[in-house]
Amino acid sequence: MFITITAGHSNTDPGAVNGSDREADIAQDMRNIVTSILRTDYGLEVKTDGEGKGNMPLREAVKLIKGSLLAVEFHTNAAAKKEATGIEALSIPKNKAACQRICAAVADATGWKLRGEGGFKPDNAGQHSRLAYAQAGGIVFEPFFISNDTDLALFKATKWGICRAIADAIAMELGAAKV
């Protein structure tokens, strides 16, 4: 069995932007780091939507989920209010515990607050309306607000530690042990 790790947005959609930092680039970095840790430290088989700075559009990434033990797509949140902060993962209810475990791991590593129910939000919460990735069985994970300068700076300074916390939580969710 395998897990799926993807990066939100694609080479043609930057997602949210703060200065020169683009959500698509940050999502690709998180995907690459978490995938590397899961493969190297846990020996897990991981499918991704690309490597380096490339990734598939959503319509293709969603197809990777079928047969996965767990699927996570990375995003960052954004808000008009620069002080908005917090961690959330959107999915259908069957992934609630996994969402909460991953969100709690990042909160422990950063001190960022959890949004929703311990980080979990249903995929139709707020401005969302039935996210295709979540409806296919995946988790849409938003560990911080790119629009919050302080959160963005902390992510950039500690992204390897944050990604390690995410990878460890995913492995724990699957019952995987370090190799």
| CATH number reported for the structural domain that contains residue 21 in this entry | 3.40.630.40
The per-residue pLDDT for 23 is: 95
At 2-17, the pLDDT tens digits run: 999 999 887 778 899 9
The per-residue pLDDT for 127 is: 61
How buried is 78 (Cβ within 10 angstroms: 0-12 exposed, 13-18 middle, 19+ buried)? middle
Inside any domain, residue 94:
yes
Per the CB < 8 A criterion, the answer to whether 119 and 107 are in contact is: yes
The per-residue pLDDT for 151 is: 97
Inside any domain, residue 97:
yes
Query: What is the Cα–Cα distance from 9 to 58, expressed in whole angstroms?
Result: 7
Classify 1 as helix, strand or coil.
coil
What are the φ/ψ torsions at residue 47 (nearest 5 degrees)? Answer: -95, 140
At 120-179, the pLDDT tens digits run: 998 887 665 668 888 889 999 999 999 999 999 999 999 999 999 999 999 999 988 888
Provide mean pLDDT across the span 87-93: 95
**Which residues form the domain of 170?**
2-174
Inside any domain, residue 179:
no
Per the CB < 8 A criterion, the answer to whether 177 and 43 are in contact is: no
What are the φ/ψ torsions at residue 89 (nearest 5 degrees)? Answer: -135, 130
Please count the other Cβ atoms lying within 10 Å of the Cβ belonging to residue 157.
10
Please count the other Cβ atoms lying within 10 Å of the Cβ belonging to residue 117.
13
Domain count, the chain: 1
Two structure tokens written together for 128: 């969302």
At 50-80, the pLDDT tens digits run: 887 878 878 888 899 999 999 999 999 999 9
Contacts of 40 (CB under 8 A, 6+ apart): none
**Could you give the count of Cα atoms lying within 13 Å of 108 in the half-sphere of its Cβ?**
12
